[in-house]
Amino acid sequence: MQTTLRGVGVSHGVAIGEVRHMGTAVLEPPAKQIPAEEAEREQGRARQAVEAVAADLIARGNLAGGEAQHVLEAQAMMAQDPELMADVDRRIAVGSTAERGVYDAFASYRALLAGAGEYLAGRVADLDDVRNRIVARLLGVPMPGVPDSDEPYVLIARDLAPADTALLDPALVLGFVTEEGGPTSHSAILARALGVPAVVALPGAGELAEGTVVAVDGSTGEIFIEPSAEKRAEMEASAAARKAALSASTGPGATSDGHKVPLLANVGGPGDVPAAVEAGAEGVGLFRTEFLFLDDSKRAPSEEKQVAAYRAVLEAFPEGRVVVRVLDAGADKPLDFLTPADEPNPALGVRGLRSLLDHPDVLSTQLTALSKAAEGLPVHLEVMAPMVADRADAKAFADACRAAGLQAKFGAMVEIPSAALRARSVLKEVEFLSLGTNDLAQYTFAADRQVGAVSRLQDPWQPALLDLVAFSAEAARAEGKSCGVCGEAASDPLLACVLTGLGVTSLSMGAASIPYVRATLAKHTLAQCERAASAARAADSAEEARVAAQAVLSGE
């Protein structure tokens, strides 16, 4: 008998296949004491294992490229964290083996973060993966991971570490389902980049028996266990129809009655550009520049290095629009030379623009590099600041842009509710807004974007979040300026129609989502999108909002 489960759909598409489970975690090493004279040797073993794991993560990142490279480089930095290594050394000095010292030090850090409720608690899966890799190397055992299989399968896991997700083979892994995670977790973002159907935050997924046939709908979040022949046929027909619609949809983004909605790509570096160009992106709506700064957490990259990297992206979109976000450091992206090491809650501390204003030389160098990178190119360069809270923040950033001689539009990201509520005030200082819906949801609902237990509150369909989008778009329209969305909300085709109806003027997303959004927008008029937006805002929950919008757009 067919059973239906529901998680959170985070990557479009349908997958039907047998269940295969992720390898089990590394076993806890024994707690045996070593003689004092062996401590130095064990400390050396631990350091060698850490360096080897960090090097492996960087190599995997180089192989994967794009967004995955950025994520894995951040994980390598986690492996080499000096405070963690100091704790490992202390534990070994009082008698622990290298593997036990690593295991206990990571466990202590993990418990501290989870207990304090800090933003970095959202990286627990990443932290566990780093620990497992180091301990496995020290024990001389294989690292648990993606199962070996000659036949395609649906992967089931408690959570997927970035190192596993980044190198999944879409020819074998038809789709994946995780018990934890959320719509903006690393696993979800990388799944979309790979084009692999995925469902996260499904409690009990690990209880599915090996070999069970499941059908995964990455759009709705539904999992059908032992689907009937009729259900399989229905899902396969739906997937085929969707593929045909994607192939038929080309050109700029627009509603069926010709209302233009530029569809832009989110990129994490030059490695993401080919996929964006192939998907028909009309430009870049979010160029994350952190990848340049993660190579060395001790110092900022030179102006010359920045110029070369920025120009590589700008050249790919001649006469297109490229929106660059200046360095967003802090919280889950700490940099030794920029961010405080002892903040009790980094997510609510000195991050984003706040860090840059405390280090004006870093901001000035980046703005100057962007200016030089754009020289002689017909590209429409726009530069925006992350974590803008109010008009004073917006003015400080605009003043820095002018001081650097930047010939570009400068704008503000709306990630803090205060910026949405006072958007007209912010727009007195800048020329455009860009909504980062991932962080905006996190701060609106006090719900960490990486914690599966609060994924309900991270759902971009939450009416309160839609209200904030509407406030921002209305303010931009009143000021005669633009307001785009560059958060993951834009990658949901149905929600893209609602955002358009709310007055958003452009949508930016992972390249793999652009064809889906283009095809869906092309089926509806602007008036339909506006009615769907009104229906969604009138709802009392994310699910009700989704259903209400779907009813309007389907003509029910």
Q: Rounded to whole angstroms, how far apart are CA atoms 237 and 81? A: 50
Of 19-33, 155-169, 191-205, 512-526, where does the model show the most confidence? 512-526
Q: Rounded to whole angstroms, how far apart are CA atoms 350 and 325? A: 17
115 vs 315, higher pLDDT:
315
Please, which residues have CB within 8 angstroms of residue 493's CB and are 6 or more apart in sequence? 12, 513, 516, 517, 519, 520, 521
Burial-class residue 349 by CB neighbours within 10 Å (0-12, 13-18, 19+). Answer: middle
Confidence class for position 116, pLDDT limits 50, 70, 90:
very low
Q: Rounded to whole angstroms, how far apart are CA atoms 79 and 73? A: 10
**Phi, psi (deg, nearest 5) at residue 182:** -145, 180
Q: Rounded to whole angstroms, how far apart are CA atoms 462 and 475? A: 20
What pLDDT is attached to residue 121? 45
Please, which residues have CB within 8 angstroms of residue 94's CB and are 6 or more apart in sequence? none
Q: Rounded to whole angstroms, how far apart are CA atoms 231 and 225? A: 11
Q: What is the rounded average pLDDT of the residues 50-65? A: 82
pLDDT at 136 over 70: yes
What CA–CA distances, in Å, run from 409 to 80, 374, 382, 475? Answer: 38, 12, 5, 18
Lowest mean pLDDT among 184-198, 232-246, 435-449, 456-470: 184-198
Please, which residues have CB within 8 angstroms of residue 59's CB and are 6 or more apart in sequence? none
Q: Rounded to whole angstroms, how far apart are CA atoms 330 and 354? A: 9
Name the β-bridge partners of 384: 325, 411
What pLDDT is attached to residue 556? 67
**435-491: per-residue pLDDT in tens?**
999 899 999 999 876 666 777 888 899 999 999 999 999 999 999 999 999 987 998
Of 53-62, 249-258, 278-287, 421-430, where does the model show the most confidence? 421-430
Count, residues in the chain = 556
What pLDDT is attached to residue 118? 39
329 vs 216, higher pLDDT:
216
Confidence class for position 142, pLDDT limits 50, 70, 90:
low
**Residue 339, Cα to own-chain centre: how many angstroms?**
21
Instruction: Classify 336 as helix, strand or coil.
Output: coil
Q: What is the rounded average pLDDT of the residues 22-26? A: 68
Known catalytic membership, residue 483: no
The number of CA neighbours under 13 Å toward the Cβ of 555 is 3
Tokens of 167: 């190198």
Q: Rounded to whole angstroms, how far apart are CA atoms 101 and 535? A: 56
286 vs 63, higher pLDDT:
286
Q: Rounded to whole angstroms, how far apart are CA atoms 465 and 454? A: 15
8 A C-beta contact, residue 444 and residue 468: yes
Q: Tell me which H or E stretch contains 213.
A: strand 213-217
Strands 153-157 and 14-21: parallel
8 A C-beta contact, residue 543 and residue 491: no
Question: Which spans in 172-289 are helix H?
Answer: 186-194, 229-248, 273-278
Q: What is the rounded average pLDDT of the residues 65-86? A: 79
Q: Is the dihedral of CA 196, 275, 375, 483 positive or negative?
A: negative
Tokens of 244: 């045909």
What pLDDT is attached to residue 388? 98
Lowest mean pLDDT among 32-46, 83-97, 238-252, 367-381: 238-252
Q: Is 465 left (phi over 0), alpha (psi -120 to 50) or beta?
A: alpha
**498-553: per-residue pLDDT in tens?**
999 999 999 999 888 899 899 999 999 999 999 999 999 999 999 899 999 999 99
Q: Rounded to whole angstroms, how far apart are CA atoms 510 and 301? A: 26
Lowest mean pLDDT among 111-125, 229-243, 480-494: 111-125
Instruction: Classify 284 as helix, strand or coil.
Output: strand
What pLDDT is attached to residue 272? 85
What CA–CA distances, in Å, run from 299 to 174, 337, 351? Answer: 41, 6, 17
Spot the catalytic one: 12, 70, 401, 486: 486
Spot the catalytic one: 12, 70, 186, 359: 186
| DSSP secondary structure code for residue 505 in this structure | -
8 A C-beta contact, residue 84 and residue 105: yes
Known catalytic membership, residue 486: yes
Q: List the Cα angle 212/214/217 in 5-degree steps.
A: 165
Burial-class residue 547 by CB neighbours within 10 Å (0-12, 13-18, 19+). Answer: middle
What pLDDT is attached to residue 295? 67
**Residue 214, Cα to own-chain centre: how many angstroms?**
27
Q: Average pLDDT of the chain?
A: 87
DSSP labels, 79-121: HT-HHHHHHHHHHHHTT--HHHHHHHHHHHHHHHHHHHT-GGG
